[in-house]
Amino acid sequence: MCGIVAIAGKAPVNQALYDALTVLQHRGQDAAGIVTCESGRLFLRKDNGMVRDVFHTRHMLRLAGHFGIGHVRYPTAGSSSSAEAQPFYVNSPYGITLAHNGNLTNAHVLAKDIFRSDLRHVNTDSDSEVLLNILAHELQERRKFIPEVDDIFAAVAGVHKRCKGAYAVVAMITGYGIVGFRDPNGIRPIIFGERDTPEGTEYIIASESVAITSLGFRVVRDLAPGEAVFINSQGRLFTRQCAENPSYTPCIFEHVYFARPDSIIDNISVYKARLRMGEKLAQTIQREHPDLRIDVVMPIPDTSRTAALELANQLNVKYREGFMKNRYIGRTFIMPGQGQRKKSVRQKLNPIELEFAGKNVLLVDDSIVRGTTCREIIQMARDAGASKVYFASAAPAVKYPNVYGIDMPAKSELIAHGRSEQEVCELIGADALIYQKLDDLIAAAREGNPDIQAFDCSVFNGEYVTGDIDDNYLDALQASRNDSAKNQKEKGSTIVDLANG
């Protein structure tokens, strides 16, 4: 999972890109990058680290130009090479830079095709570089010295025909403009906005609406599945549907976990969707667990706060903050190695013992992935004096790996894979476990936008909306995502980094 932004301005955009990436920092903490364009020249700065660490004053001063794109990269375990930081660049045709959120499910096949038929070299393991070269090839096939609007959209249509999976993309064609586009299933989010200035209208494209509104832009709308938007060098905006058979199946996990609550994605308020998740979860508890004697409801900070608050309201039970969070520890389900994850949980959260002593506590989290975090938290609650510890998940059981850009573990490392609810409850050490019903989760999100008929819920039901995922693919994914493979990759990355000084 990553965050992307592009701005076509009437004044220098370096500070605005920086500010947007800061707002999107929750979508990626591993690396950050910005590229700008002025007078046909590109100025690029990217590196591992948080936005505030990658960009210093000397870097910002060099990022000249009124057009630019930016990227924050989600920390993928065992993959810390700055060579995979984005945006990526290819010099032919025109000079194209690209930033991408998502995952190409046919990236390995495309990488071979790029070399054999397109005669292009891919230098990293990133599918974003593959996507960039596909876009570049499709543009080059138009054989135009100066690309026109139709050429841009035809190239995006070519990308849609060749690329499978999930992708929200921003790209800059040096001297000609900025293009943004979304995969034909609309899995990953992308939205655009505008603002008026004395010099004319400026445009922004981003992963979430909060990056648009925080910079003083007006939200125009989300890009439709398969749609592309192009802002040319004169600041004119064009949009076109570039996919033959688009379908609207956005990722529901954005609303569960990734997106900021103050964002609106696909015309759905993330905050209100999470409120409804809490309401639905409370109804499940009242219906299926009427004998639970709950003294207090506590969220596992931060994502579950909204759902936990509404759950407590519905149950007419006290809501309390029982854990204080260290904000300088990364998200744990993507960290390599069980030992590191366990250590991180204890460093990340600290209980307020007075809130636990002698009480029956209902802990609420957004989801349960490996189970490492909730098992440690439940034990922390008991150590703090809780009489009973119940655990509720605002999402259904995560039973299947994600193939569309979320670095979830191999299926064998998902605690709910192949296990019953009671077995998971015993493994995490809870006195009771309550999962959200999938139908309730879908209803909570869909109420915000009834035009969406279906969501990608593959991590919960194993149904992959792109239709190209089989057991062989998942077996290969298992081999690359298990802890031993990641630890081996991490060792290899260390050697490469040392060799490069």
Q: Active-site residues: which are they?
A: 2
Using DSSP, state whether 31 is helix, strand or coil.
strand
The tokens of 250 are what?
A: 């956005």
Q: What is the dihedral angle through the alpha carbons of 398, 400, 405, 408, rounded to the nearest 10 degrees?
A: 60
Angle between helices 127-140 and 149-162 (to 10 degrees): 130
Contact between 378 and 346 under an 8 Å Cβ cutoff? The reply is: no
Contact between 278 and 314 under an 8 Å Cβ cutoff? The reply is: yes
Using DSSP, state whether 221 is helix, strand or coil.
strand
DSSP string of 237-251?
Answer: EEEEE--SS-----B
Q: Is the CA virtual torsion 204, 209, 211, 217 positive or negative?
A: positive
DSSP 8-state secondary structure symbol assigned to residue 50: -
Q: Is the CA virtual torsion 443, 421, 402, 370 positive or negative?
A: positive
Contact between 374 and 368 under an 8 Å Cβ cutoff? The reply is: yes
Contact between 301 and 323 under an 8 Å Cβ cutoff? The reply is: yes
Q: Distance (Å, rounded) from C-alpha 381 to C-alpha 373?
A: 12
**Residue 178: enclosing H or E segment and its boundaries?**
strand 177-182
Q: Is 303 annotated as a binding residue?
A: yes
**Phi/psi of residue 376, each to 5°?**
-65, -40
Residue listed under structure tokens 């109420």: 447
Q: Count CB neighbours of 22 within 10 A.
A: 16
Using DSSP, state whether 288 is helix, strand or coil.
helix
CA angle 340, 343, 347 (to 5 degrees): 130
**Phi/psi of residue 290, each to 5°?**
-70, -15
Q: Is 365 annotated as a binding residue?
A: yes
Contact between 22 and 66 under an 8 Å Cβ cutoff? The reply is: no
**Residue 382: enclosing H or E segment and its boundaries?**
helix 372-383
DSSP string of 51-63?
Answer: HHHH--HHHHHH-
The tokens of 280 are what?
A: 């639905």
Distance of CA 361 to the CA centre of its chain: 31
Residue listed under structure tokens 């990133």: 126
CA angle 406, 407, 408 (to 5 degrees): 95
Q: Is 174 annotated as a binding residue?
A: no
Bond into 93 cis (ω within 30): yes
Which residues make up each annotated binding site?
Answer: 303, 365-366
Binding-site annotation, residues for Mg(2+): 303, 365-366
